[in-house]
Amino acid sequence: MTPTNRREFLDVEFDVLSVEELISRISETRSDGPYRYLVTPNVDHLVRLHRNGAGLGDLAGIYRDADFCVCDSKVLARLAKWRSVDLPVIPGSDLTERLFEEVIQDGDRIAIIGGDAEMLSKLSSKYPKLEFGQHRPPMGLVRNSAARREAGKFIADTKPRFTFVCVGAPQQEMIAAEAAMLDGSGGLALCVGAALEFLTDRQKRAPVLMRRFGLEWAHRLLSNPRRLWRRYLIEGPAIFILAYRWRRSRA
């Protein structure tokens, strides 16, 4: 596979691809082909990366080694542009929906890491001609290397064309990287957070207008303030300081 062009922002190298180019490359995926994984960093991911550093293991290396690293956030892209770095925005939820509509074919084997029995049931009902397999790992994956390895082994053993790793950052990225170290891994693993929740209507996405103006985060906050208030109102704004410092360090 021809390497993609990448641009660095906040110590992460993002692929410079349109969504059409990315889908074209992903469509080449075969279950018996080389294993690859895709990550979708957003504001929350980069704040965690810079705040916790070594506490998350080699997360920076996991992003660097990803076969595809695409920007999931318009807020992040606007900050990057303010720092003279143009990043295409390809939300993981949009990408997942298009893959199911345009790339995934009848008979494909799809692995899911995360979710619950209801999610699997809804996916199976919506896409009855696909072969789904699901692994539900325990909580606390960041500190549970054995559980991450078990999830990675599930990917290697299942032989899926696509794996959707939906256990939240940074554990989903850790699992995707874990599978890369195991013999027999193939297909493409996508770290896409809540994408399957949206695909099965278990969560509602922001209206199109809010997405267009980069306000999907506000919709999510209003939908679940008890769980997300700290992420968006306390931790998230640190991204502005990080962007300022990053620019100054390269002045």
Q: Which residue has the higher pLDDT, 59 or 95?
A: 95
Predicted confidence (pLDDT) per residue in 118-159, tens digit = 999 999 999 999 999 999 999 999 999 999 999 999 999 999
1 within some domain: no
The arithmetic mean of pLDDT across residues 6-33, rounded, is 95
pLDDT value at 36 more than 50: yes
Predicted confidence at residue 124, as pLDDT, reads 97
- Write down the pLDDT at residue 218: 77
What is the token pair recorded at 10? 């906040």
Is residue 189 situated within a structural domain?
A: yes
Checking if the pLDDT of 249 tops 90, the result is no
The arithmetic mean of pLDDT across residues 231-240, rounded, is: 85
Mean pLDDT, range 181-186, rounded to an integer: 95
Q: Is residue 133 part of a domain?
A: yes
Which pLDDT value is given to residue 247?
A: 79
- Tell me how many domains the chain contains: 1
In this model, does residue 71 exceed pLDDT 50? yes
* pLDDT of 56 strictly over 60: no
Residue 128 lies in a domain: yes
* Between 212 and 200, the higher pLDDT residue: 200
Distance CA 162, CA 31 (A): 7
Domain span holding position 75: 6-249
pLDDT at 1: 58
Inter-residue contact 1 to 8 (CB < 8 Å): no
Whether 48 maps to a domain, the answer reads yes
Above 60 in pLDDT, residue 162?
yes
Report the chain's mean pLDDT, rounded to a whole number. 91
Given a cut of 80, is residue 110 above it in pLDDT?
yes
Q: Is residue 217 part of a domain?
A: yes
Is a pLDDT exceeding 50 seen at residue 54? Answer: no
DSSP the chain: -PPPPEEEETTEEEE---HHHHHHHHTT--TTS--EEEE---HHHHHHHHHHGGGGSSHHHHHHH-SEE-B--HHHHHHHHHTT----B--HHHHHHHIIIII--TT-EEEEES--HHHHHHHHHH-TTSEEEEE-PPS-GGG-HHHHHHHHHHHHHH--SEEEE-S-TTHHHHHHHHHHTSTT--SEEEE-TTHHHHHTTSSPPPPHHHHHTT-HHHHHHHHSHHHHHIIIIIITTHHHHHHHHHHHHT-
0.75 surpassed by pTM: yes
**In this prediction, what percent of the chain has a pLDDT beyond 90?**
73
